[in-house]
Amino acid sequence: MRRFLIVTNRTKDTDLSVTKKIENYLKERKAICDIYDAPEEIPKELIADDLDCAIVLGGDGTILHAITPLVYYNIPILGVNMGTVGFLASVELEDLEKALLALLEGRYEYDDRIMLEGTVYRNGKQIFKAAGVNDIAISRSGFSRIIRFCIWLNGELVDSYGADGVVIATPTGSTGYNLSAGGPVVSPCSDVLIITPISPHSLTSRSIVVSGNETIALQVERIGQNDMEAAFITIDGQHGTRLKEKDRIEIKRANVKTRLLKVDRTGFFEVLRSKMGGRKL
């Protein structure tokens, strides 16, 4: 690899000291570097045809924000963790130079992750569409009562729920909102989707794990009676829109994948133990 885009989060790297360290290290070894440090989406002119890799500094939120413009150009991402947990960031600051050297010498592996695509239809017309690598959440606002909705799988009714919402997660997103809602942790190499109700008003509602080839449909049956009560769909916590009663949401595996880079052989469960067990959050 010889051409890099460094995407940094100024709330994490306030003085750009880590960003400049990476830039200097790579340029001293004859690599080409561009830096992007704005909160807006990465402009297309920075995604050059010969761009080999995006090095993203921050937490998972920063990486999720960077994925949106990069995934459609098949640009691999190396995440450098400057956040709290950072499941998508495979490199800790103390291992930074070793990771950069591995990139320059071609000692890395691709780690492709499936993505979800969510489409909202209102009165039969598409009003919203976006893709994410972690999850799609349908949830109520802070003032709302529980949402009532139905879920179908390939046209077959799964169940109707009264809950704070529901999260549909990929294996990558199983350690995020899904886990907080009581859903299972799934190995990121699995080809499955996870449906987890959020605080369901039921003694029997549990997570459901389905094949990654399935199409999930959800219809909002009831939200509330006034403007203070609302429901929203959010994708990776980055994109979303407000929902109305009878809106129909279709969720399926996207036709693109997020390509992460691994520069060591640390396994998923070792990372899980380290980040969720041995480290204080």
Single out the residue of 122, 130, 27 nearest to residue 71, CA to CA: 130
> Does the annotation place 141 within a ligand binding site?
no
Q: Is 61 annotated as a binding residue?
A: yes
176 is known to lie in a ligand binding site: yes
72 annotated ligand-binding residue: no
101 is in an annotated binding site: no
Number of CB atoms found within 10 A of residue 15's CB: 8
65 is in an annotated binding site: yes
Is 164 labelled a binding residue? yes
Gap between the Cα atoms of 135 and 117, Å rounded: 9
CA gap 65, 61 in Å, rounded:
6
- The two tokens of residue 95 are 């291992």
Going 197 to 168 to 239 to 82, the CA torsion angle's sign is positive
Do the annotations mark residue 178 as ligand-binding? Answer: yes
227 labelled ligand-binding: no
CB 207 within 8 A of CB 184: yes
* Active-site residue, selected from the candidate residues 34, 50, 52, 60: 60
Q: Is 105 exposed, middle or buried (0-12, 13-18, 19+ CB in 10 A)?
A: exposed
Q: Is 34 known to be catalytic?
A: no
Helices in 122-244 by DSSP H: which ranges? Answer: 177-180
- Catalytic residues, which ones? 60
Annotated binding site: 60-61, 65, 134-135, 145, 164, 175-180, 238
Annotated binding site for NAD(+): 60-61, 65, 134-135, 145, 164, 175-180, 238
